[in-house]
Amino acid sequence: MIQQSSIDALRRIEIPPQSLFIGGRWQPAETEEAVDCISPIDGRHLTTIARASRADVDRAVQSARLAFEAGRWSRMAPAGRKKVLLRIAEIIEARALELAVLGVRDNGTEIGMALRAEPGSAAATFRYYGEAIDKIYGEIAPTGPSVLGLVHREAVGVVGAIVPWNMPLMIGAWKLAPALAMGNSLVLKPAEAASLTLLKLAEICAEAGLPEGVLNVVTGSGSVVGEAIGMHMDVDVLAFTGSNGVGRRLLEYSARSNLKRVYLELGGKSPNVIFADAPDLAKAAAVAANGIFRNSGQVCVAGSRLLVQRGVHDEMVGRISAHATAMKVGDPLSLETDIGAVSSERQLESNLDYVKRAEGDGGRRVVGGERILQETGGYYMRPAVFDAITPDMTLAREEVFGPLLAVIPFEDEADAIRIANSTEYGLAAAVWTSDLSTAHRMVRAIQAGIVHVNTYGGSDLTVPLGGHKQSGNGHDKSLHALEKYTSLKTAWFQL
């Protein structure tokens, strides 16, 4: 049981200015310029991270390449790599509270969610891929009798991983653990607004015995560091989670450089579809509220569109609005808080702008949508429910990445499918119904990487997470993720 006093002790710890982690040690960036880390909890200066240059990225890539070629990790016996990954998981678990509090001070996620979704998921991810390492086999092809075809699965080389500010430890681990499991080296770029926990993770990996140069962490701006990784001629794979705009750029970088493989996990505008025969409307409303409002809506799979069948529309709007009003918004480091801070002032302003646009388009704001707790200096807003949204409105089409729910009524199954599929995105979805046939038909018809039935947001490491349509092309989690970090090689023997 976590005590509030333990959290409060950790929140007061001074954080020194951060350096780059290259070649197994802390190194300053080429220039002394730094990026300020502002805590969304109170708008105060937390620390600085190094602002790396192109030359710093080049050093990191060289270090990763040298480590890969030297074979210290890439040719280590699978059982040896497994031991290190399992040790990383153990250290993350032992330092879970420290990591969670550090992350919350950086990006404002409520501590309850941060504990589960950050160190909790990261440790589970390292353990899952650690355990998989010595259970992955190559293949013997079913050839004719005079030949032998062997299919080897090889590490690709140097992986460039670029990750966002929401859930950085979890999403970082989703890239690092499978890439490391298969023997690759990495250059990791965290987002400016949430680099601190991933810098800590680099230290933890070294402590667990990951050889120097195998994992390098380079902080700074997307336009310099991210572009330098994307354009680098010696990076073999790009593994990205973030916005669609940056995802497009990465594809361009690849085309303009060495045609590196690019895997994109992008945004969403996920439909949560409530049929009138849903088994439990009270539960559906509670789960839907969590599915959009937790972490201030800054979740890629957030159920941001609530599609409700006409017969239960008014009841659902009432129920979900009651949840939105009851959720406690405030200090993300208090165990009593349901919704913490929006990650930055810029994100808060963008959310408030979407509130205005939704009203301007004719949406009806039922509850929430205003900035609160301004006296703290932090970035907080009340979760908002908008009714009378039509599929053509901005709030039904664009990813807000904030605590704004668009309620859209529908008539029947065909109408629900048409509306659910009416955006460019296809990340997640849910269907609530008591009819098994309706559920199966909806799962088939909705274009999304995951469709939940009579729940929202659940999954674990055994199943892949990835988008359809413009939500991306790669998969994090599950054994499928290993495919991104391996190349197949055929050996053909004439007997």
Nearest to 389 by CA among 405, 378, 377: 405
Cα dist from 309 to 271, 300, 414, whole Å = 13, 25, 11
The number of beta carbons lying within 10 Å of the beta carbon of residue 334 is 15
Which residue carries 């990835």 as its tokens? 466
One residue of 164, 183, 330, 378 binding ligand NAD per CB under 6 A: 164
Q: At 132, list the tokens.
A: 């998989």
Catalytically annotated residue among 110, 300, 399, 413: 300
Using the minimum distance from each CB to ligand NAD, give the nearer residue, 171 or 404. Answer: 171
CB of 408 vs ligand NAD, minimal distance in Å? 20
Residue pair 187/219 in contact by the 8 Å Cβ criterion? no
Residue pair 322/330 in contact by the 8 Å Cβ criterion? no
Binding status of residue 189 toward ligand NAD by CB under 6 A: yes
Q: Where are the beta strands (DSSP E) in 345-443?
A: 364-367, 371-372, 380-381, 384-387, 404-410, 428-432
CB of 282 vs ligand NAD, minimal distance in Å? 29
Q: At 70, list the tokens.
A: 């030297």
| CA atoms of 201 and 401, how far apart (whole Å) | 26
Binding status of residue 266 toward ligand NAD by CB under 6 A: yes
CB burial of residue 162 (10 Å; 0-12, 13-18, 19+): buried
| CA atoms of 461 and 457, how far apart (whole Å) | 13
Binding status of residue 162 toward ligand NAD by CB under 6 A: yes
CB of 191 vs ligand NAD, minimal distance in Å? 4
The contact pattern for ligand NAD, residues 268-297, with x = CB under 6 A and - = no contact, is x-----------------------------
Binding status of residue 401 toward ligand NAD by CB under 6 A: yes
Q: At 162, list the tokens.
A: 């670029």
Q: At 470, list the tokens.
A: 């413009």
| CA atoms of 370 and 359, how far apart (whole Å) | 13
CB of 154 vs ligand NAD, minimal distance in Å? 26
Residues 6+ apart with CB under 8 A from 61: 158, 160, 187, 216, 229, 232, 234, 235
Using the minimum distance from each CB to ligand NAD, give the nearer residue, 110 or 387. Answer: 110
* 265 in active site: yes
CB of 349 vs ligand NAD, minimal distance in Å? 14
| CA atoms of 114 and 121, how far apart (whole Å) | 10
CB of 7 vs ligand NAD, minimal distance in Å? 25
Q: How far apart are the first and last CA of the chain?
A: 64
| CA atoms of 250 and 235, how far apart (whole Å) | 12
3-state secondary structure of 211: coil
CB of 106 vs ligand NAD, minimal distance in Å? 13
- Total binding residues for ligand NAD by CB under 6 A? 30
Span 167-186, contacts to ligand NAD by CB under 6 A: 171
Using the minimum distance from each CB to ligand NAD, give the nearer residue, 11 or 469. Answer: 469
CB of 303 vs ligand NAD, minimal distance in Å? 13
Using the minimum distance from each CB to ligand NAD, give the nearer residue, 183 or 426. Answer: 426
* 300 in active site: yes
Q: How many CA atoms lie within 13 A of 230 on its CB side?
A: 24
Residues 6+ apart with CB under 8 A from 137: none
Residue pair 450/293 in contact by the 8 Å Cβ criterion? no
Using the minimum distance from each CB to ligand NAD, give the nearer residue, 260 or 313. Answer: 260
The contact pattern for ligand NAD, residues 402-431, with x = CB under 6 A and - = no contact, is -------------------------x----
| CA atoms of 195 and 63, how far apart (whole Å) | 20
Residues 6+ apart with CB under 8 A from 31: 51, 53
Catalytically annotated residue among 118, 265, 399, 413: 265
| CA atoms of 44 and 11, how far apart (whole Å) | 13
Using the minimum distance from each CB to ligand NAD, give the nearer residue, 249 or 313. Answer: 249
Using the minimum distance from each CB to ligand NAD, give the nearer residue, 249 or 319. Answer: 249
Span 217-246, contacts to ligand NAD by CB under 6 A: 222-223, 226-227, 230, 241-243, 246
CB of 227 vs ligand NAD, minimal distance in Å? 4
One residue of 472, 475, 477, 484 binding ligand NAD per CB under 6 A: 472
Give the active site residues: 265, 300
Binding stretches for ligand NAD (CB under 6 A):
162-166, 171, 189, 191-192, 222-223, 226-227, 230, 241-243, 246, 249, 265-268, 300, 399, 401, 427, 465, 467, 472
